[in-house]
Structure 1
Amino acid sequence: MPERLPGYRPPARWLHWIVAAAVLLMIPAGLTMTQEGLSRPVQDTLFLFHKNLGTVLIPVILMRVIYRLTHRPPPLPKTIPAWQRTAAAVSHGLLYALLIVMPLSGFVRVRAGGYPIELLDRLGFGPWIAKSESLADAASALHATAAFVLIAILAVHVGAALQHALIRRDGVWSRMWPGG
């Protein structure tokens, strides 16, 4: 039986799983929508979904970052080696940074490219950024590179979570699971 560890508070858990679900939807949409040979209606639908969900995610991610900065996470069990503690801290820091970079670079890419963000346009928000192909290209390159880094770090994060849940069974997984 694993040691009973203090878990994350409910707001941290809910913000984690809302962002996780959204990101896990955004990744395949983002990878698929840019493929050659995709039918125009499917591509348009994926672009609409991806950029508007990304826009909605910005305030949710900001809430998550603010919550994390103002609420210390529960400590890891003493049985976790120092190198794994360091790896966890580094990967979490990178995840948070990428969760900020991804929607902001996507927003800049779309707006600097002169494209609409339908949700913001309907709410009466202006473009905020002047059209600039060079800025759009730079934001696009950053967005694409950060996407692959995010996918790699998420794979490590999910792998570590599954290792704690299924192999070690040390209680680390249940700290973040909504039912904890």
Structure 2
Amino acid sequence: MTDHQPGYRTPARMFHWGVAAAVLLMIPAGLVMTQDGLSRSVQDTLFVFHKNLGTLLVPVILARLIYRLTHKPPPLPDTMPGWQRRIAGLSHVTLYGLLLVMPLSGFIRVRAGGFPIELLDLLGAGPWLAKSDPLADSAQLVHAVAAFLLILLLALHIGAALHHVLIRRDGIWSRIWPPRRR
């Protein structure tokens, strides 16, 4: 990346990497916690971790969306083909959408299923939803489909990032990676 090519501002980079780290912790926890054969204590610990990290992520994701809507990202390099620009834009919009669908569907699944969300309960938030097995089942399906799509899209996103940093070496990676101290 040349010195005149702008990168994302520090808050955008912090939102990106903070949410990325949390999501990359939640995915394996979410996949493992639903498996048969785990001890009850391990399964319970993973459920509590997953639900409460999701709860903490909601305000961060909303702040990230507000920041993104109020701060224009740096322009993509002129050398990037139009089809890649369109795919990058579509994938980012879809990632943001999935980052909203995942905690919402998880919340509905848990609360309509009659289960606690320990952090919200500690804050006295109340269940907000009546117990409803059909609603919980529908939310669980949405959560599972969205999780599959999120994992797929993250794999493509990470693959594209690695392609840009290792093969093309076109500065795309440098735009979001924390800046180097000079």
Shift of 1:27: 0.3
| Cα distance in 2 for residues equivalent to 1:179 and 1:106 | 35
Shift of 1:3: 2.7
Shift of 1:38: 1.0
Q: Does 1:86 align with 2:86?
A: yes
Aligned to 1:107: 107
The farther-off stretch of 2-11 and 159-168 is: 2-11
Aligned to 2:145: 145
Q: What is the identity, as a one-letter code, of the residue corresponding to 1:11?
A: P
Aligned to 1:155: 155
Shift of 1:153: 0.4
- Residues 3 and 170 of structure 1 are in contact (CA less than 8 Å); yes or no, is this contact kept in structure 2? no
Structure 1 vs Structure 2: percent identity of aligned residues? Answer: 72
Aligned to 1:3: 2
Q: Alpha carbon RMSD of aligned pairs, Å?
A: 0.8
Shift of 1:179: 2.3
- Residues 111 and 129 of structure 1 are in contact (CA less than 8 Å); yes or no, is this contact kept in structure 2? yes
| Cα distance in 2 for residues equivalent to 1:165 and 1:128 | 45
Deviations 1:129-170 (A, max 9, x none): 111111100000000000000000000100111111111111
Shift of 1:39: 1.0
Q: Does 1:121 align with 2:114?
A: no
Question: Would you identify which runs of 4 or more consecutive aligned residues in structure 1 move more than 3 Å?
Answer: none
TM-score by structure 1 length?
Answer: 0.97
| Cα distance in 1 for residues equivalent to 2:93 and 2:134 | 29
Q: Would you say how many aligned residue pairs link Structure 1 and Structure 2? A: 179
Deviations 1:85-110 (A, max 9, x none): 00000100100000000011001100
Aligned to 2:97: 97
